[in-house]
Amino acid sequence: MLERFTKRAREVVERAQSIAMESRASQVRPEHLFAAILWDDQCLAVRVLVAQGGTTDRLHAELDRRRARYVDGLDEEDAAALASIGIDLEEVVRRLGDEPLQRKRSRFTRVSRRFSRPAKKVLELSLREAVSLRHNYIGTEHLLLGLVRQGDVIVRDTLVAAGVDTSTLREGVQEALRQAG
């Protein structure tokens, strides 16, 4: 599928892997793809988001706020829920951290991360978005549409909080493409 990706879209996929690794996530999740899109503020997807009411600063800030703070895939609400049954998530993470994950053999050090099921779904949906727009390539704009359609909570909440109108996102993409000529 990647052969149909534009250079920029391929870079987004690669960057999502690096972001997942940097945040010590075990898999690439939709939020990493979203962060990877936002990183390239000249790409069509970001231009569409700005045209739909967002600003890059707010998008970055809102996404950072929502991304996992404690452990892979767990946020503050999860920490609060765990506290309600007597589990101190920060303490669990702290103790795990006391024994650093030193991998002695290099063959266990992966240079890439697998895509989570929802993240794979995003890629699949971006292909479908491209097809329905009769485009023969997948660009960052299709990745964005795929992300929104997949419905990841972090992505959705970030867009809402940053003031992006997602109801007319597809039209926004078409408009941006018209302007780009």
Partner 1 sequence: MTTESDLATAASASDPRVGLRAVRALRRLLEELERTQVRRARAQGWSWAEIGDALEVSRQAVHKKHGKD
151: left (phi over 0), alpha (psi -120 to 50) or beta: left
Question: How near is the Cβ of 67 to partner 1 at its closest, in Å?
Answer: 14
When asked if residue 136 is in the footprint of partner 1 (CB under 8 A), the reply is no
Interaction of residue 76 with partner 1, rule CB under 8 A: yes
Integer Cα distance of 51 and 70 in angstroms: 33
Stretch that binds partner 1, among 11-19, 55-63, 94-102, 169-177 (CB under 8 A): 94-102
Our finding on whether 72 is near partner 1 (CB under 8 A) is: yes
- Angstrom distance (rounded) from CA 47 to CA 9: 14
Query: CB under 8 Å to 24, separation ≥6 — which residues?
Result: 72
Cα→Cα distances 171→45, 133, 141, 174, 175, Å? 12, 10, 11, 5, 6
Q: How far apart are CA 51 and CA 29, in angstroms?
A: 26
Contact call for residue 98 and partner 1 (CB under 8 A): no
Binding partner 1 (rule: CB under 8 A), the pick from 3, 42, 105, 180 is: 105
**Distance in angstroms (rounded) separating the CA atoms of residues 95 and 91:** 6
Does 14 contact partner 1 by CB under 8 A? no
Q: Does 78 bind partner 1 (CB under 8 A)?
A: yes
- The DSSP secondary-structure symbol of 28 reads E
- Please give the residues from 23 up to 42 whose contact with partner 1 meets the rule CB under 8 A: 26
Least CB distance to partner 1 at residue 27 (A): 10
Q: Does 153 bind partner 1 (CB under 8 A)?
A: no
* Interacting residue ranges for partner 1, rule: CB under 8 A: 26, 71-74, 76-85, 87, 89, 92, 96, 99, 101-105, 108, 110, 114
